[in-house]
Structure formats: C-alpha cells, structure tokens
C-alpha cells in the first residue's frame, strides 16, 4: 500500500554533521539541527545481542518515508529524532513508481554505551 500525504503523521527533526572551528582553529564536526519535516515512520526489523557484563543491546531498523522535496539533500551524516528516539540514516532510495517520494532506512540502537558514557 502506498503512503499518501495524509500518512505523514510524525514530526521528524533532522540533524546533520556540520564543520565547526574550535579555539585552536581546527575543524571538527558536530551535529546541528537542519529542519523539521513530516514523515511516516515504520519499524521494519530488529535484533538483540548480548554484551559483556550481562548487558543487552537492541538494534531496530526503521523505514522513514518522506516527500523528496522536504529533504532535497540527504547523506549518511544525518539522523532523525522522532518522539525522542534517534534514528541514524543507513541508506535511502526513491520510490520508483511514485515520483517525489523517498524511503530512508535508519537504525536505532538501544542499550549502547556512548563515547561520553551516556
């Protein structure tokens, strides 16, 4: 079943890695908000794995369907925040039989320890 414009019910904040210059005049990359768009977000698959110390990590793949015009430039250095959950962009492709629409596949990881310890 094809997604219609009325099915875009989730507000998705889009973040993109952008270059920033620090006090030592060196260039680094930091995620900055780009825009907020309407999307249809659907979980597609998931898996779990055991980590050392009796910890468990879950990885869930989501399909994010959007109008192509709402995000004309997309890259793997982006992520979406939908209902407080971060969805990292993995890959995307146009819906060939419906001009102007994109399917973006994203990964959400639960239980993963971040580099800053969060």
What is the spatial distance between Cα 67 and Cα 46, in angstroms, rounded to a whole number? 25
The residue assigned the tokens 């990292």 is: 88
Give me the domains of the chain, ranges plus CATH numbers: 5-110 (2.40.10.270)
What is the spatial distance between Cα 80 and Cα 3, in angstroms, rounded to a whole number? 19
The predicted-structure confidence for 26-52, as pLDDT tens digits, reads as follows: 988 899 999 999 999 999 998 888 877
The predicted-structure confidence for 53-68, as pLDDT tens digits, reads as follows: 777 888 899 999 999 9
What is the spatial distance between Cα 66 and Cα 28, in angstroms, rounded to a whole number? 30
Tell me, what's the pLDDT at 60?
92
Summary mean pLDDT of the chain? 87
Which residue from 97, 109, 98, 106 is spatially nearest to 10, judged by alpha carbons? Answer: 106
What is the spatial distance between Cα 51 and Cα 43, in angstroms, rounded to a whole number? 23
The predicted-structure confidence for 62-87, as pLDDT tens digits, reads as follows: 999 999 999 999 999 999 999 999 99
| Residue 115 binned pLDDT confidence (cut-offs 50, 70, 90) | very low
The residue assigned the tokens 């959007």 is: 66
């Amino acid at each position: 079943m094809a997604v219609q414009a009325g099915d875009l019910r989730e507000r998705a904040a889009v973040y993109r890695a952008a270059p920033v210059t620090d006090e030592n005049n060196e260039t680094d990359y930091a995620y900055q908000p780009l825009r907020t768009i309407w999307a249809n977000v659907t979980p597609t698959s998931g898996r779990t794995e055991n980590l050392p110390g009796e910890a468990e990590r879950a990885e869930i793949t989501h399909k994010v369907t959007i109008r192509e015009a709402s995000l004309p430039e997309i890259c793997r250095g982006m992520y979406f925040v939908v209902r407080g959950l971060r969805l990292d962009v993995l890959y995307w492709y146009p819906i060939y039989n419906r001009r102007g629409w994109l399917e973006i596949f994203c990964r959400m990881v639960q239980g993963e320890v971040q580099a800053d310890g969060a």
